[in-house]
Amino acid sequence: MVEWWGTIPSFEKTFWIVAFPSSILFVLQVIMTFWGVEHGADMNGGLSHGFHDLPHEHNLENSSENSSEALDVKFRLFTIRSILAFFTVFSWTGIATTRAGMSHITSIIIAVVLGFILMFIVSFIYYSAAKLTEDGTMDIKNAIGRKGEVYLTIPKKGEGMGKIQIEIQGVLRDMDAITYGEKIENRDKVIVIRIVDNQLLLVEKID
């Protein structure tokens, strides 16, 4: 190892010094990201199944605050991930171009250009993933004025909950619903007129 290191030109050594830590950290970052996505999916699944068990006010207010934060998605070029990607590509490109016999200036230029290209790609990938998460965040208020179909009978005059299928934000969802009118039977068409307790759809039957 010592003999190998001694044979490397000083200019190339600079790239190697950058390559080792940046590559290790970049790989660890990628592994952690995929690990987080996998476990985040489990968490989301659990939350969706347990949504109706939440208390009415406190947790829903917190949920709204978290949703507002999640919706603040901006493209950021300079992040820890993108900077690690830059130095990883920059260093290995520098090593490759130097060993290919290119001049120092040419090696640096090519390494910088390719580093910035991957830096942009990584930033764009994470931005796109965040936008997909944003698009999947449901705002129940978007159900107001939309039409749906009952698949679990809704009791009369607010005496209990039924369920309807309704499209919200382009996704067909099963939602709890109540009515202050007469009982609404399975397969009847309804329209959402407002939201009750921030989680229930108040509906009326469409004649």
Does this model's pTM top 0.85?
no
Angle formed by the axes of helices 80-99 and 104-135, nearest 10°: 150
193 burial type by CB count under 10 A (0-12 exposed, 13-18 middle, 19+ buried): middle
**How confident is the model over 168-177, as pLDDT tens digits?**
877 888 999 9
How does strand 200-205 pair with strand 171-178?
parallel
**Which of helix, strand or coil describes residue 63?**
helix
The distance from CA 65 to its chain's CA centroid, rounded to whole angstroms, is 16
Tallying the residues shown for the chain, one arrives at: 207
CA angle 148, 137, 29 (to 5 degrees): 150
Structural domains in the chain plus CATH codes: 2-135 (no CATH), 141-205 (2.40.50.140)
**How confident is the model over 50-80, as pLDDT tens digits?**
333 333 333 333 433 344 334 455 778 888 8
